[in-house]
């Protein structure tokens, strides 16, 4: 009986450990630039990419994919879209999906095309866009919610850089001070989801950012209500913690975007 109980407890701990590991998400952010005369062609390309990445999801190579259209936050001559690919571990994230795999997934997604047509379609789609910036990120913490990712959802991607000597202070502030604030907003219906990510690459003092926060809203009404909201119930100690947290980082840029395509 004691042995049985021992194995049951070990089994539960093992299952919990696996689940804890599965909560870690790794993401690649591709900031995409498309020339003005190719915008309409690229609209077709993102729909093609949705079908291709769905095949990659079915093959367990990724755990999700998003395609966002920027509404504000950057000169459109720099980039107009953000593509996010989700992975279950850092090795898959760094390896990514090679061109051979992408062509194969394209062939599966479009079985009516022959090999030459598939290769041409894929090469033409790559030629119409440039990626001036790519970020490799690890999710550190997120809110508890059941937010549904679907086209039309809004998000602000806030690029942060921890001030020199304040890296740990900043991460502690996001996890212990700002996360509860966002969780409260979600419970009040003022927000859909929030997550805090650390940059894996690029690294070094010249990197433009060290962290990123994703703030998601179901629509513009929820977004503007959240901007107008002021928490009058905050205590003096909470306000002080918020102020100290803000001092630990520099908010480099905020990108507001609309979700156009999603694979889950």
Of 133, 167, 199, the residue that ends a domain is 133
CATH number of domain containing 167: 3.30.70.100
Place of tokens 């790519």: 134
Count the neighbouring beta carbons within 10 Å of the beta carbon of residue 56: 21
Q: Which of 206, 207, 208, 228 is nearest to 217 (CA)?
A: 228
Q: What is the dihedral of CA 150, 264, 32, 252, to 10 degrees?
A: 70
Of 105, 133, 161, the residue that ends a domain is 133
Domain range enclosing 229: 139-263
**Residue 210 in 3-state DSSP?**
coil
pTM: 0.85
Average pLDDT over the chain, rounded to whole?
Answer: 86
Backbone angles phi, psi at 110, to 5 degrees: -125, 70
- Whether 1 is in a domain gets the answer no
Which DSSP helix (H) or strand (E) runs through 93? helix 90-95
Q: What is the dihedral of CA 237, 241, 244, 248, to 10 degrees?
A: 170
CATH number of domain containing 92: 3.30.70
Q: Which residues are CB-neighbours of 187 under 8 A, at least 6 positions away?
A: none
Judge if 91 and 31 occupy the same domain.
yes
Judge if 61 and 112 occupy the same domain.
yes
Judge if 169 and 254 occupy the same domain.
yes
Of 83, 112, 133, the residue that ends a domain is 133
Q: Which of 100, 102, 104 is nearest to 83 (CA)?
A: 102
CA dist., res. 69 & res. 31, Å (int):
10
Count the neighbouring beta carbons within 10 Å of the beta carbon of residue 190: 17
- Whether 154 is in a domain gets the answer yes
**Residue 179 in 3-state DSSP?**
helix
Confidence of residue 203 (pLDDT cuts 50, 70, 90): low
State pLDDT tens for residues 78-116.
788 999 999 999 999 999 999 889 999 999 999 999 989
Q: Which residues are CB-neighbours of 213 under 8 A, at least 6 positions away?
A: 157, 158, 160, 174, 178, 194, 195, 196, 197
Number of domains making up the chain: 2
Judge if 116 and 148 occupy the same domain.
no
- Whether 9 is in a domain gets the answer no
State pLDDT tens for residues 28-81.
999 998 887 777 777 888 888 899 999 999 999 999 999 999 987 655 567 889
CA dist., res. 199 & res. 210, Å (int):
5
Percent of the chain with pLDDT over 70: 88
Q: What angle, 0 to 180 degrees and rounded to 10, lies between the N-to-C axes of helices 99-109 and 115-127?
A: 120
């Amino acid at each position: 009986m004691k042995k049985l109980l021992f194995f049951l407890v070990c089994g539960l701990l093992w299952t919990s450990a696996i689940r804890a590991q599965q909560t870690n998400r790794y993401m690649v952010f591709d900031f995409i630039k498309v020339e003005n005369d190719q915008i309409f062609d690229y609209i077709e390309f993102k729909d093609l990419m949705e079908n291709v990445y769905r095949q990659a999801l079915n093959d367990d190579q990724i755990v999700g994919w998003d395609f966002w259209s920027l509404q504000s936050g950057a000169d459109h001559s720099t980039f107009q879209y953000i593509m996010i690919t989700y992975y279950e571990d850092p090795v898959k994230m760094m390896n990514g999906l090679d061109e051979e795999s992408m062509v194969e997934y394209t062939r599966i997604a479009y079985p009516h095309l022959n090999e030459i047509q598939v290769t041409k379609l894929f090469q033409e789609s790559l030629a119409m866009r440039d990626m001036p910036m790519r970020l490799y990120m690890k999710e550190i913490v997120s809110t508890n919610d059941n937010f549904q990712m679907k086209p039309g959802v809004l998000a602000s991607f806030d690029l942060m850089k921890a001030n020199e000597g304040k890296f740990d202070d900043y991460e502690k502030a996001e996890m212990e001070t700002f996360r509860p604030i966002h969780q409260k907003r979600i419970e009040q219906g003022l927000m859909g989801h929030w997550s805090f990510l650390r940059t894996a690459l690029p690294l070094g003092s010249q990197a433009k950012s060290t962290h990123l926060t994703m703030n998601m809203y179901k629509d513009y009404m929820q977004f503007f209500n959240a901007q107008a909201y002021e928490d009058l119930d905050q205590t003096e100690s909470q306000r002080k913690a918020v102020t100290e947290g803000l001092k630990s980082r520099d908010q480099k840029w905020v990108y507001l975007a609309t979700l156009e395509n999603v694979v889950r």
